[in-house]
């Protein structure tokens, strides 16, 4: 018997609330207006080129069959094959996936890697499934989107609640129908099946590189700087490690349970040991507890939001005291907050630049897969640094030229590249 999945796993409907897609279009529109972008090109870029919705049955361990829904959105491929993660979450909607695919187009263009923007997701609570159920769901979903993905068409990667194991299942499923280099169909794979050294730490490393580059342009001395990090997960913890190496002092960190503050600084190793033991950074000995809201408003030089979207809003933007915000998370700052921060001379390195280290190293993984030649961690790190430093310089130049905030500068730079490619290919 076929059952539909319970309501809480269904697609939520938001009425009258600004969605992530609205936010993505609003950010695009700001840059498009400044560029006086041809309205016909605007029309094309506001929407993904293709969105595939799939409804597929998965057999549970107890024999029931549940129906799940998933999506793959392909926003633009003028610069190269679509690239972007696949997330598993109960709140995944077609609208969210569309927004994320558009952000990927700009992120890849900013990084200067030859990819377009894609994103996918399955509306599911993965924590409610056993490993065997997750494997069946992953294999069936990937097989259903296989006709539009491929090493030269669309290359997925991990995202929220998907990981190297999920990518290994995807790749293996794909290998059943395509024998020519199936490793290159997804990135973020385990090392043993074509993953890249340096991929785990890449997003945090990229955040740290963007902090260093911003400090250089702003003439900030990192050795005298303090930093707070919201979200001590993959992105936030690696950012801690690498920012600490620049000489800056991390004074506050947090996770979903709350935050820890110590004026004299928090060393990466000590936070890591404590988090490994207790599962949280909260109550680290010798620290003062702070809430996630308080952490954002602390008197520090650098703020790294590395957890959730929409945490810096019109309500708290005026209370941000950091001079530099580097967005590890995707979409942590609302458009209204961007205006307030710009007026207050707070430099915000936008997500599409600051956290592009992840997709840039995914690109390096794909290149290694295609040539069947694997690089050392040093080689990967060196290439990542080159990509990020160049991207930062280009975005900074565009930002100065138009006298805008860095997000708008990054959008102008990215949209310019995508539209140039569209024109020269004869699409417009
Ligand atoms: P993760 O799951 O490893 O870590 C997320 C962290 O945020 C965890 O420590 C969690 O406890 C914390 N958190 C959850 N809810 C919170 C809350 N309400 N307040 C404070 N902290 C909270 O995830 P991640 O991969 O580090 O991703 C974090 C952000 O970075 C996301 O926005 C993601 O899209 C973005 N990002 C990650 C990558 C990557 O390669 N990991 C690449 C690009 C962008």
Range 8-34 average pLDDT: 73
Considering only CA atoms, which of 278, 277, 280, 274 is closest in space to residue 292?
Answer: 280
Indicate the top mutation candidate among 92, 126, 233 to test ligand 1's pocket, ranked by most ligand atoms within 8 A of CB: 233
The reply to whether 20 falls in a domain is no
Give the global pTM. 0.93
The confidence band for 2, taking pLDDT boundaries of 50, 70 and 90, is: very low
Listed residues 354, 387, 408: the one ending a domain: 354
The reply to whether 409 falls in a domain is no
Domain co-membership, 144 together with 238: no
The confidence band for 14, taking pLDDT boundaries of 50, 70 and 90, is: very low
- Assess whether the C-beta atom of 352 lies below 6 angstroms from ligand 1: no
Domain co-membership, 238 together with 145: no
- Assess whether the C-beta atom of 230 lies below 6 angstroms from ligand 1: yes
List residues with catalytic annotation.
119
Sign of the Cα pseudo-torsion (418, 333, 344, 223, in order): negative
Domain co-membership, 258 together with 322: yes
Residue 240 Cα, ligand 1 centroid: separation in angstroms?
13
The reply to whether 17 falls in a domain is no
Indicate the top mutation candidate among 231, 256, 257 to test ligand 1's pocket, ranked by most ligand atoms within 8 A of CB: 231
pLDDT over 50 at 80, yes or no? yes
pLDDT over 80 at 191, yes or no? yes
Instruction: Give ∠ CA 176-181-185 in degrees, rounded to 5.
Output: 75
For ligand 1, atom 30, name the residue with the nearest CA.
329
Considering only CA atoms, which of 159, 187, 120, 181 is closest in space to residue 366?
Answer: 187
The reply to whether 33 falls in a domain is no
% pLDDT > 90, the chain = 93
Query: Are the CB atoms for 209 and 354 separated by under 8 Å?
Result: no
The reply to whether 332 falls in a domain is yes
Q: What is the CA radius of gyration of the chain?
A: 21
**Residue with the larger pLDDT of the pair 194 and 12:** 194
β-strands 258-261, 288-290 pairing: antiparallel
Per-residue pLDDT tens digits for 250-309: 999 999 999 999 999 999 999 999 999 999 999 999 999 999 999 999 999 999 999 988
Give φ, ψ of 324 to 5 degrees.
-130, 130
Domain co-membership, 243 together with 289: yes
pLDDT over 70 at 150, yes or no? yes
Give the nearest ligand 1 atom to 332 CA. 32
- Assess whether the C-beta atom of 307 lies below 6 angstroms from ligand 1: yes
- Assess whether the C-beta atom of 306 lies below 6 angstroms from ligand 1: yes
- Assess whether the C-beta atom of 305 lies below 6 angstroms from ligand 1: no
Q: Which two tokens stand for residue 370?
A: 């295609």
pLDDT over 90 at 18, yes or no? no
CATH code (residue 338): 3.40.50.720
Domain co-membership, 167 together with 213: no
Domain co-membership, 229 together with 115: no
- Assess whether the C-beta atom of 237 lies below 6 angstroms from ligand 1: no
Question: H helices within 15-130, ranges in order?
Answer: 20-35, 39-46, 94-111
For ligand 1, atom 33, name the residue with the nearest CA.
329
The reply to whether 124 falls in a domain is yes
Instruction: Note the pLDDT of residue 20.
Output: 86
Q: What is the mean pLDDT of the chain?
A: 94
Considering only CA atoms, which of 375, 379, 316 is closest in space to residue 346?
Answer: 316
pLDDT over 70 at 13, yes or no? no
- Assess whether the C-beta atom of 196 lies below 6 angstroms from ligand 1: no
Calpha distance 67→49 (Å, rounded): 26
Give the nearest ligand 1 atom to 237 CA. 26
- Assess whether the C-beta atom of 109 lies below 6 angstroms from ligand 1: no
For ligand 1, atom 32, name the residue with the nearest CA.
329
Instruction: Note the pLDDT of residue 7.
Output: 32
pLDDT over 70 at 15, yes or no? no
Calpha distance 366→372 (Å, rounded): 10
Domain co-membership, 65 together with 142: yes
- Assess whether the C-beta atom of 85 lies below 6 angstroms from ligand 1: no
Per-residue pLDDT tens digits for 217-250: 999 999 999 999 999 999 999 999 999 999 999 9
Domain co-membership, 213 together with 336: yes
Considering only CA atoms, which of 220, 416, 193, 400 is closest in space to residue 325?
Answer: 220
Residues 6+ apart with CB under 8 A from 124: 5, 9, 68, 88, 89, 90, 92, 137
Residue 379 Cα, ligand 1 centroid: separation in angstroms?
27
Characterize 196-230 residue by residue with b for buried, 16 or more Cβ atoms within 10 angstroms of its Cβ, and e for exposed: bbbbbbbbbbbbbbbbbbbbeeeebebeebbbbbb
Give the nearest ligand 1 atom to 331 CA. 32
Structural domain span for residue 343: 202-354
pLDDT over 60 at 17, yes or no? yes
pLDDT over 50 at 415, yes or no? yes
The reply to whether 139 falls in a domain is yes
CATH code (residue 108): 3.40.50.10860
- Assess whether the C-beta atom of 308 lies below 6 angstroms from ligand 1: yes
Domain co-membership, 345 together with 207: yes
- Report the domain count for the chain: 2
Domain co-membership, 255 together with 320: yes
Residue 312 Cα, ligand 1 centroid: separation in angstroms?
15
% pLDDT > 70, the chain = 96
Least confident of 1-15, 49-63, 330-344: 1-15
Per-residue pLDDT tens digits for 359-388: 999 999 999 999 999 999 999 999 999 999
Indicate the top mutation candidate among 307, 353, 362 to test ligand 1's pocket, ranked by most ligand atoms within 8 A of CB: 307
Give φ, ψ of 197 to 5 degrees.
-60, 150
Listed residues 354, 378, 413: the one ending a domain: 354
Domain co-membership, 228 together with 153: no
The reply to whether 14 falls in a domain is no
Indicate the top mutation candidate among 306, 309, 354 to test ligand 1's pocket, ranked by most ligand atoms within 8 A of CB: 306
Domain co-membership, 250 together with 340: yes
**Residue with the larger pLDDT of the pair 19 and 319:** 319
Listed residues 336, 354, 372: the one ending a domain: 354
Calpha distance 115→358 (Å, rounded): 13
């Amino acid at each position: 018997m076929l059952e539909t999945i319970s309501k809480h796993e269904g697609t939520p409907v938001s009425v009258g609330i600004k969605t992530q897609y609205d936010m993505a279009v609003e950010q695009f529109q700001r840059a498009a207006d400044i560029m006086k972008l041809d309205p016909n090109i605007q029309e094309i870029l506001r929407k993904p080129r293709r969105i595939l919705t799939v409804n597929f049955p998965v057999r549970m361990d107890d024999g029931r069959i549940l129906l799940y829904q998933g999506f793959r959105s392909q926003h633009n491929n003028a610069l190269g094959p679509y690239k972007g993660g696949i997330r598993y979450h109960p709140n995944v909607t077609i609208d969210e996936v569309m927004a994320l695919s558009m952000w990927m187009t700009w992120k890849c263009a900013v990084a200067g890697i030859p990819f377009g923007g894609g994103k996918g997701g399955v509306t599911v609570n993965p924590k409610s499934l056993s490993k065997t159920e997750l494997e069946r769901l992953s294999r069936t979903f990937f097989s259903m989107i296989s006709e539009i993905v491929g090493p030269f068409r669309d290359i997925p990667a991990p995202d929220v609640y998907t990981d190297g194991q999920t990518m290994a299942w995807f790749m293996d499923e794909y290998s059943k129908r395509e024998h020519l280099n199936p490793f290159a169909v997804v990135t973020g794979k385990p090392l043993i099946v074509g993953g890249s050294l340096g991929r785990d730490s890449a997003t945090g490393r990229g955040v740290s590189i963007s902090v260093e580059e911003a400090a250089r342009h702003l003439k900030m001395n990192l050795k005298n700087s303090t930093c707070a990090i919201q979200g001590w997960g993959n992105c936030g913890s690696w950012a801690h490690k690498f920012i600490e190496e620049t000489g800056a002092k991390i004074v506050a960190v947090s996770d979903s349970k709350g935050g820890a503050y110590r004026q004299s600084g928090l060393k990466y190793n000590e936070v890591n040991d404590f988090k490994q033991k207790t599962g949280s950074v909260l109550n680290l000995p010798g620290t003062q507890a702070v809430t996630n809201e308080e952490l954002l408003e602390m008197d520090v030089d650098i703020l790294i939001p590395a957890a959730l979207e929409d945490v810096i809003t019109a309500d708290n933007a005026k209370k941000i005291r950091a001079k530099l915000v580097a967005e590890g998370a995707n979409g942590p700052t609302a458009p209204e907050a961007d205006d307030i921060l710009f007026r207050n001379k707070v430099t915000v390195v936008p997500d599409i630049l600051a956290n592009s280290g992840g997709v840039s190293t995914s690109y390096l993984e794909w290149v290694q897969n295609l040539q069947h030649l694997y690089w050392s961690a040093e080689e990967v790190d060196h290439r990542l640094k080159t990509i990020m430093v160049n991207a930062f310089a280009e975005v900074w130049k565009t930002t100065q030229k138009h006298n805008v905030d860095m997000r708008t500068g990054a959008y102008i730079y990215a949209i310019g590249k995508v539209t140039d490619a569209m024109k020269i290919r004869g699409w417009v």
